[in-house]
Chain A
Amino acid sequence: MRKIFLVLVAFFIQVALMAGSEKSVEQLEKELADLKAENLALREHTAYQYETPERPEGQKSVLGFKVEPIKNIRCAFIGCGARGGMFLRVLSNFPEHVTIKAAADLYQEKLDAIDRELKAKDYPYEVDYTTDPNGWKGICERDDIDLIFAATPPSLHLPIAIYAMDHGKHVAVEVPIITNVEEAWQLVNAAERNQRHCIMLENCMYGDYELAIKNMVDLGLFGQTVHAEAGYLHNLEEYRFDYSDPKNWRSESPTKVPKISGNSYPTHGLGPIAHWLGINRGDRMKTIVSAETADFTMRHAVNMLMGPKNPIPEGHFRPDQNLSIITTEKGRTIMLYYSTVLRQPYSRAYRLNGTRGFAEDHSQHKLSKDTCQRRLAFEPNFHVDLPVDKVNALLEKYRHPIYAKFSAEAEKFGGHGGMDAVMLMRLIYCLNNGLPLDIDVYDSVAWSCVSNASLKSVQLGGMPVEIPDFTRGAWKDFDGVKYYYVDENGETRAY
């Protein structure tokens, strides 16, 4: 009897609870609407957005832009240090395609060295030199120059590029071409406003490996590309601790507060994989999330090299590593590594996943092929690494026609394993033949702005940051990145 009573009590309590929790359709609909509103409000705060300015009236896109052939390109070099000086020296060997008109640098001894070398080889043209810190403006204002190379410290890249384009010059600028998104829009507008070429001199685009993989991507050997990784993993201790050279702008001192770096040097790795994935020509980078470590290794290195009693180790150094993940408009992903601190061999840490195959490269350009840590695997045996000889044979078989065409120059002039020479030859070839350049202003700013966008994401605790569409929608009109050439019949074709 007592049991029956308890069961009945439990039943009535449950019925009462159910009645209390029952919601009308109206209530449920209201809750759903509230949830949706809350979700929308949340979404506004789940990604940092840069302002995207409207294209100013009268400006037009320079995606696929080309000019009439310039049979002999009149060039000026602003900044003649390790990079600019190398460009000038290589191009001085092709007087039939390039005329060196002017060279500027803050240090007379660098210009003197160039002058001596040019005279020694009977360089046929007269070159004007200047060490005036503002001399670059006068060079930009000249009317006998077609192309200006800017290889200065990064803070001067933007002012030189804009001033040069506003004075009708094409510009070729060292990496990174800009340091933030606002500068990026200024540069895009300058190129569009003046209808001038603006190329960032990203030499890693022209490595034998990078071009071979691009060729294989273009031939469909990887199928649909899905994911790519790259990095700049370059321990720079030997630069950082060389305080004997005051002109070495890479030296840096510790700070009193912890440093945040973001990925401050993204383009060497990002450039090649962006072209593999057709970024800005068929897809675009949409968002980035970024995170980084504290400064373990530098602190350790400074301690080891300077001793614990030195005040310098008490400061803060740059983080050991920054990791960034980019998602693209079409749902692909990019992983970027950045470290100039971690103690490991140099690597650009490439990885490519496609629906039909896989590639990975951790080798450095100075190593011989036998020691390369390169991996390839393709369907149907995608779960098995190809043997080293097969990997090398395939990379040779699919060597990009661009690298094959300029391999002699790569061998002769070198520069990071030849890629510098190929980059310069390719730039001159395109301008000589009136072709679109391989790298345009949209590539240049999109790759460079990752430094600022990744920093922003780190500052916001890993919040997604939207990467602006610098093409303002024109990326949708293309299907992959093409490299143009002129065939034996004089027809323009594309790889």
Chain B
Amino acid sequence: MNPIKNLFMLFVMGATAFAGDILLNPRAQVDFGAAAEIEVTQDGLLAPTGSGLVRSVQHTLVDTKKRYRVSVEYKKSDAVAESRVRGTVVLSPYNMKCKMIEGVHVSFIEGSEAEVLEISPSRGKRVVLRLTDAWKKELESERKVRRAVTFLVKRDLSDIPNFYWSVIDGYEIDGDRLILKVNWTPALVPGDLVRLHYYGWQGIGKDVYATDEWQTLSFEVTGESKRACSDKFWAGTQAVGLGIGGKGVLFRNLTFEELD
């Protein structure tokens, strides 16, 4: 065997020794579901074709105390005229009941717990709150986010991830009363607490900017966070799947591995 080949083999063996156990490695159409908006070429290139994320069907249980790594290579498709295209790579977290923990469940305005003043019937569309500074400040800010209200909340954040939420379609301020127009409410009683949440996270991950050259994204995730972030598992995470998005971005070698 020639010496270069020997050296290469040593390198591969060394790299393998340091690699963790690969827990997820979606690489076929069925790995995302037959109807998923993604094209998978025969040589394993993953090309999302829709505007949203495509998520792996396969999940894997995780121990949030351990360290894990997400890796992927990406570039822009030759068919794209722009010099760079934005893509997204995430871990999608799932709770004990296999329910996906979405960004809105764990993205909240600190200290925005507010008291319900008027009873709202179940599936009602109006909630009256005592207006707090946190709400006032956020509603008056020019941040371009879609806001949501979560119900049945606890001041110690033990309700996070909170799945009882509704998009805020509009609001009125009447003195110290805040009247929210929402899509849905559970049955509320005066004194119940609600909290201000917002959209913004599609999963535990990062955006990438793909160019003509292949680049590598690799990030570690360990520990647990009540708040959405990109380096910790979100509160309640029991399992994760992989997700990618970005029309015009090509991905390959998408993996999730255990490091510890």
Assuming the contacts A379-B57, A380-B55, A380-B57, asked whether A219 and B30 have C-beta atoms less than 8 A apart, the reply is: yes
Assuming the contacts A357-B34, A394-B35, asked whether A221 and B29 have C-beta atoms less than 8 A apart, the reply is: yes
**CB < 8 Å neighbour of A376 from B35, B36, B55:** B35
Is there an interface contact between B35 and A390, defined as CB atoms closer than 8 Å? yes
Is there an interface contact between B55 and A356, defined as CB atoms closer than 8 Å? no
Is there an interface contact between A220 and B30, defined as CB atoms closer than 8 Å? yes
A-B contact count (CB 8 A): 34
Assuming the contacts A219-B29, A221-B29, asked whether A394 and B55 have C-beta atoms less than 8 A apart, the reply is: no
Interface string of A369-396 (1 = CB under 8 A from B): 0000000111111000010001000100
Q: Nearest Cβ distance between residue B38 and chain A, in whole angstroms?
A: 12
Interface string of A206-236 (1 = CB under 8 A from B): 0000000000100111110000000000000
Is there an interface contact between A356 and B30, defined as CB atoms closer than 8 Å? yes
In the complex, chain B residues whose CB is within 8 Å of the CB of A221:
29-30, 34
For B36, the closest partner residue in chain A by CB is: A378
How far, in angstroms, from A222 to B30 measured CA to CA in the complex?
Answer: 9
For B35, the closest partner residue in chain A by CB is: A378
In the complex, chain B residues whose CB is within 8 Å of the CB of A380:
33, 55, 57
Is there an interface contact between B35 and A386, defined as CB atoms closer than 8 Å? yes
In the complex, chain B residues whose CB is within 8 Å of the CB of A356:
30, 33-34, 57
In the complex, chain B residues whose CB is within 8 Å of the CB of A390:
35
- Restricting to B5-53, which residues have a CB under 8 Å from any CB of A? 28-30, 33-36
How far, in angstroms, from A390 to B36 measured CA to CA in the complex?
Answer: 10
How far, in angstroms, from A220 to B57 measured CA to CA in the complex?
Answer: 14
Is there an interface contact between B33 and A394, defined as CB atoms closer than 8 Å? no
How far, in angstroms, from A158 to B57 measured CA to CA in the complex?
Answer: 50
In the complex, chain A residues whose CB is within 8 Å of the CB of B33:
356-357, 378-381
How far, in angstroms, from A30 to B29 measured CA to CA in the complex?
Answer: 58
How far, in angstroms, from A381 to B34 measured CA to CA in the complex?
Answer: 10
Is there an interface contact between A381 and B29, defined as CB atoms closer than 8 Å? no
In the complex, chain A residues whose CB is within 8 Å of the CB of B28:
220
Interface of B, helix, strand, loop or mixed by DSSP: loop
- Restricting to A259-307, which residues have a CB under 8 Å from any CB of B? none
Is there an interface contact between B35 and A381, defined as CB atoms closer than 8 Å? yes
How far, in angstroms, from A221 to B40 measured CA to CA in the complex?
Answer: 13
Q: Nearest Cβ distance between residue B60 and chain A, in whole angstroms?
A: 14
Interface size class of A (residues with CB under 8 A): 10 to 19
In the complex, chain A residues whose CB is within 8 Å of the CB of B36:
378
Interface of A, helix, strand, loop or mixed by DSSP: loop
Q: Nearest Cβ distance between residue A17 and chain B, in whole angstroms?
A: 51
For B56, the closest partner residue in chain A by CB is: A380
Q: Nearest Cβ distance between residue A368 and chain B, in whole angstroms?
A: 22
Assuming the contacts A219-B29, A221-B29, asked whether A394 and B34 have C-beta atoms less than 8 A apart, the reply is: yes
For A222, the closest partner residue in chain B by CB is: B34
In the complex, chain B residues whose CB is within 8 Å of the CB of A376:
34-35
With most chain B CB atoms within 10 A of its CB, the pick from A220, A376, A378 is: A378
How far, in angstroms, from A220 to B27 measured CA to CA in the complex?
Answer: 14
How far, in angstroms, from A381 to B33 measured CA to CA in the complex?
Answer: 8
In the complex, chain B residues whose CB is within 8 Å of the CB of A394:
34-35
In the complex, chain B residues whose CB is within 8 Å of the CB of A386:
35
In the complex, chain A residues whose CB is within 8 Å of the CB of B57:
356, 379-380
In the complex, chain B residues whose CB is within 8 Å of the CB of A219:
29-30
How far, in angstroms, from A462 to B33 measured CA to CA in the complex?
Answer: 40
How far, in angstroms, from A167 to B35 measured CA to CA in the complex?
Answer: 51
With most chain B CB atoms within 10 A of its CB, the pick from A357, A377, A380 is: A380
How far, in angstroms, from A390 to B50 measured CA to CA in the complex?
Answer: 12
How far, in angstroms, from A240 to B219 measured CA to CA in the complex?
Answer: 72
In the complex, chain B residues whose CB is within 8 Å of the CB of A379:
33, 57
Q: Nearest Cβ distance between residue A35 and chain B, in whole angstroms?
A: 44
Q: Nearest Cβ distance between residue A384 and chain B, in whole angstroms?
A: 10
How far, in angstroms, from A376 to B35 measured CA to CA in the complex?
Answer: 9
How far, in angstroms, from A390 to B33 measured CA to CA in the complex?
Answer: 13
Q: Nearest Cβ distance between residue A377 and chain B, in whole angstroms?
A: 8
Q: Nearest Cβ distance between residue B154 and chain A, in whole angstroms?
A: 31
Is there an interface contact between B35 and A216, defined as CB atoms closer than 8 Å? no
- Restricting to B123-150, which residues have a CB under 8 Å from any CB of A? none
How far, in angstroms, from A376 to B30 measured CA to CA in the complex?
Answer: 14
Q: Nearest Cβ distance between residue B54 and chain A, in whole angstroms?
A: 10
For B28, the closest partner residue in chain A by CB is: A220
For B39, the closest partner residue in chain A by CB is: A397
Q: Nearest Cβ distance between residue B95 and chain A, in whole angstroms?
A: 15
For B55, the closest partner residue in chain A by CB is: A380
In the complex, chain B residues whose CB is within 8 Å of the CB of A223:
30
Assuming the contacts A219-B29, A221-B29, asked whether A378 and B34 have C-beta atoms less than 8 A apart, the reply is: yes
Q: Nearest Cβ distance between residue B91 and chain A, in whole angstroms?
A: 15
For A394, the closest partner residue in chain B by CB is: B35
For B100, the closest partner residue in chain A by CB is: A380
Q: Nearest Cβ distance between residue A393 and chain B, in whole angstroms?
A: 9
In the complex, chain B residues whose CB is within 8 Å of the CB of A216:
34
- Restricting to A350-365, which residues have a CB under 8 Å from any CB of B? 356-357
Q: Nearest Cβ distance between residue B58 and chain A, in whole angstroms?
A: 10
In the complex, chain A residues whose CB is within 8 Å of the CB of B55:
380
How far, in angstroms, from A376 to B36 measured CA to CA in the complex?
Answer: 12
- Restricting to A85-125, which residues have a CB under 8 Å from any CB of B? none
Interface string of B228-247 (1 = CB under 8 A from A): 00000000000000000000
With most chain A CB atoms within 10 A of its CB, the pick from B28, B35, B55 is: B35
How far, in angstroms, from A379 to B148 measured CA to CA in the complex?
Answer: 29
How far, in angstroms, from A1 to B142 measured CA to CA in the complex?
Answer: 92
For A382, the closest partner residue in chain B by CB is: B33
How far, in angstroms, from A377 to B35 measured CA to CA in the complex?
Answer: 8
How far, in angstroms, from A384 to B57 measured CA to CA in the complex?
Answer: 15
How far, in angstroms, from A376 to B34 measured CA to CA in the complex?
Answer: 10
Q: Nearest Cβ distance between residue A185 and chain B, in whole angstroms?
A: 40
How far, in angstroms, from A376 to B33 measured CA to CA in the complex?
Answer: 12
How far, in angstroms, from A223 to B57 measured CA to CA in the complex?
Answer: 12
With most chain A CB atoms within 10 A of its CB, the pick from B30, B36, B55 is: B30
How far, in angstroms, from A377 to B55 measured CA to CA in the complex?
Answer: 16
How far, in angstroms, from A473 to B240 measured CA to CA in the complex?
Answer: 44
In the complex, chain A residues whose CB is within 8 Å of the CB of B34:
216, 221-222, 356-357, 376, 378, 394
The 3 closest A-B pairs by CB, nearest first: A221-B34, A378-B34, A378-B35
Beyond contacts A221-B30, A357-B34, A379-B57: 10 other A-B pairs, Cβ-Cβ < 8 A, are: A221-B34, A223-B30, A356-B30, A356-B33, A376-B34, A378-B34, A379-B33, A380-B55, A390-B35, A394-B34
Q: List 20 A-B contacts (CB under 8 A).
A: A216-B34, A219-B29, A221-B29, A223-B30, A356-B33, A356-B57, A357-B33, A357-B34, A376-B34, A376-B35, A378-B33, A378-B35, A379-B33, A379-B57, A380-B55, A380-B57, A381-B33, A381-B35, A394-B34, A394-B35
